């Protein structure tokens, strides 16, 4: 992380600023959910072809994995803004939940040994 790396709160604020100025207004929550699904599909396509068993087409080679991940983050931040979710706090609570729930689970999984 660099000193100018945005926090999740920064990401949410920047997405809100862009949408309410350049983007005019938010799409509906359901439309943004559909867009999120579409963006995850685009990310999945790159992953399946670049790291999975599918062969990568020449046109896939120019696709930017990081850009597709950023598209997912963008729409997720928009949805969080629309629904009043503080992603920083939600992430903190989620990490705490996973740490408590899975403290020994993965160490005991023979598939991970």
Summarize pLDDT for 6-15 with one digit per residue, the tens.
999 999 999 9
pLDDT tier for residue 4 given thresholds of 50, 70 and 90:
confident
Residue 27 has pLDDT above 80, yes or no: yes
Residue 3 has pLDDT above 80, yes or no: no
Q: Are 81 and 32 in contact (CB under 8 A)?
A: no
Q: Which alpha helices (H) appear in the chain, and where do they start and end?
A: 8-21, 29-50, 65-83, 87-101
Domains of the chain with bracketed CATH: 8-86 (1.10.287.1080)
> Can you give the pTM of this predicted structure?
0.89
Q: What is the pLDDT of residues 44-100, one digit of tens each?
A: 999 999 999 999 889 888 999 999 999 999 999 999 999 999 999 999 999 999 999
Pick from 17-31, 63-77, 99-113: least confident: 99-113
Token couple for 19: 């949408």
């Amino acid at each position: 992380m660099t000193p100018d790396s945005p926090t999740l709160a920064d990401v949410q604020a920047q997405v809100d600023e862009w949408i309410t100025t350049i983007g005019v207004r938010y799409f509906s929550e359901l439309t943004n959910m559909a867009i999120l699904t579409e963006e995850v599909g685009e990310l999945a396509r790159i992953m399946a072809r670049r790291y999975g068993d599918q062969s990568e087409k020449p046109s896939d080679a120019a696709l930017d994995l990081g850009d597709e991940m950023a598209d997912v983050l963008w729409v997720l931040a928009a949805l969080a803004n629309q629904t009043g979710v503080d992603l920083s706090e939600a992430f903190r609570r989620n990490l705490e939940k996973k740490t408590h729930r899975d403290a020994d689970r993965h160490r005991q999984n023979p598939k991970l040994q």
